[in-house]
Structure 1
Amino acid sequence: MAKKQLPPQKRKEILIYFYQHGWKDTVAQYGVGKSTLYNWNNALKLRGEQGLTPLSRRPRKLAKKRINAQVYLFIWRYYQSKPQAPFSAAVRYLKAKGAGEWSVMTVWRAVKRPQLVFSLSDFALNVPFVWIKPD
């Protein structure tokens, strides 16, 4: 389980304790790692107080896998026959039927927000459909 991020004021308080008592006492007192203390110290030196603000943990380039119309239609048909099925079950079913490796998030986007998953030009392509009937 990830630890809760500390606000900048608490980080500054911990750094002041670190400057006065050293890293061993600070680690024992506050439970933060030695490398974390030095990272905060370097951030404070480079960017000032703004450097102590916690940064986002979200990946900078979060790739959104775009699915083709064939897989989208397969997912749509699957959820027409099993509307209460969990998304993880659809992922396992796609893999079992040879439709490729898809994440739960991609299947969720295909069901809940289809306009983000593919463009209508995908339907204009002459893609041979393999009609797979859901169980």
Structure 2
Amino acid sequence: MTYVDDVASTLVAAAEDERAWGRAWHVPAAPALSVREVAGRACAAAGVPRPRLSTMPAPVLWLGGVFDPLARELRETQYQFRRPFVLDSSAATTMFGIEPTPVGEAIVETVGGLARRSGTRAAATPSAP
């Protein structure tokens, strides 16, 4: 998971530094967590019950893709959800000095922002578990 503020910081830094031009950069990201762990932390920050999550078997996802374009696209990216999806962002951290936002802080800020946008009240605390 990559926090949107870290994406913005990296884009600005890469645009402002001519040494960055002409190559791809991985945005600094906190250590990889499972979707289940991120969902659990987000629910804790929002003060709602933990979700019941399950995986969709590949044949069911394939069949769904016959009828639904989103399911069809998920067939091609499901590997990102079935095992750790880790990338090396050390080059951007070294070049721009950008450290990833801690996961707990990113979740609290994201849940709070979504709650404000939807007009609900989240129980987000200064640090998510």
Q: Under a length normalisation based on structure 2, what TM-score does the superposition of the two structures give?
A: 0.20
Higher relative contact order (CA 8 A, sep 6+): 2
Q: Which has the larger radius of gyration?
A: 1
